[in-house]
Amino acid sequence: MNKIITISREFGSGGRELGRRLSEILGIAYYDQEIITEIANRTKLAEQYVDQIVEKQPLVSFPIHIGRTLYPVPNPVLEQRQSILLQHHQIIREMAQKSDCVIVGRCADYILKDFSPFRIFVYAELESRVARCSSRCTENEKYSEKELRQKILSVDKKRAKYYNSYTGQCWGDILNYDLCVNTSQQGIKKFSCMIAGMFEQIK
């Protein structure tokens, strides 16, 4: 079975950067936005629309583990959303079957539970996340500290609803992960090297 690392993360904690660095150090595939792109290609829908559906709490209960056992839905909007979510589920499993990889977000830790992935949750203190987000803003998208705080909390709230709705589990619960990483004080580069070495020993 392939070696799989899944990364769930708080907004602004550096989880995406950690994932990229891990994939580079370990020499394995990295998947994040690529999942949305592939769903859009298969459904012939715009990436922005697909991204909104995948990150949005469903209008009806949709635990992701039910897979192909969905009952017919007469509402065309709901039917389209269910089609997108089924593709989402299938594509992540296909990527995991293809090769060793790092997958960021998208409920991959739950979807791939039978693959026994190494599940990481990345978090940080709010002040640290505000500072990290502020440093990455371009001149055309400057936010006040208050606006950044609101954005961070809003994104985290949406991620929690998304994860909880589709998995029936609690986003951020330490029992759902093999490693929880606080990036408030330590650099992502340092953590990447440490985790890569640990992952190789575990596997």
Note the pLDDT tens digit of each residue in 157-178: 988 988 998 888 999 999 999 9
**CATH code: domain of residue 123:** 3.40.50.300
What confidence score (pLDDT) does residue 55 get?
63
pLDDT at 140: 57
Quick check: 118 and 178 in contact, CB under 8 A? Answer: yes
For the segment 111-129, what is each residue's pLDDT rounded down to a tens digit?
Answer: 999 999 999 999 999 999 9
In the chain, pLDDT over 70 holds for what percent of residues?
78
Which one has a higher pLDDT value, 26 or 186? 26
> DSSP for 110-131?
HHTGGG--EEEEEE--HHHHHH
Residue 69 amino acid letter:
T
H or E segment to which residue 9 belongs: strand 4-9
Task: Evaluate whether residue 26 is within a structural domain.
Answer: yes
Mean pLDDT in residue range 12-20: 94
Is the model more confident about 182 or about 55? 182
Number of domains in the chain: 1
Residues 41-78: tens digit of each pLDDT: 776 666 666 676 666 555 444 444 444 444 455 666 66
Burial of 154 (0-12, 13-18, 19+ CB in 10 A): exposed
Buried b (16+ CB within 10 A) or exposed e, 34-73: ebbebbbeebebeeeebbebbeeebeeebebeeeeeeeee
- Residue span of the structural domain in which 56 resides: 4-197
Strand blocks (E) in 25-149:
29-31, 101-104, 118-123
Q: Is 53 inside any structural domain? A: yes
pLDDT of 187 > 60? The answer is yes
User: CA 195, CA 118: separation in Å to the nearest integer?
Assistant: 10
Contact 8, 103 (CB under 8 A): no
* CA-closest candidate to residue 25, choices 199, 201, 202, 151: 199
pLDDT given at position 76: 66
Instruction: Please state the pTM of the whole predicted model.
Output: 0.82
**Domain assignment of residue 202, yes or no:** no
Q: Is residue 21 part of a domain?
A: yes
Query: Is 74 a member of any domain?
Result: yes
Chain-centroid distance of CA 104 in Å reads 4
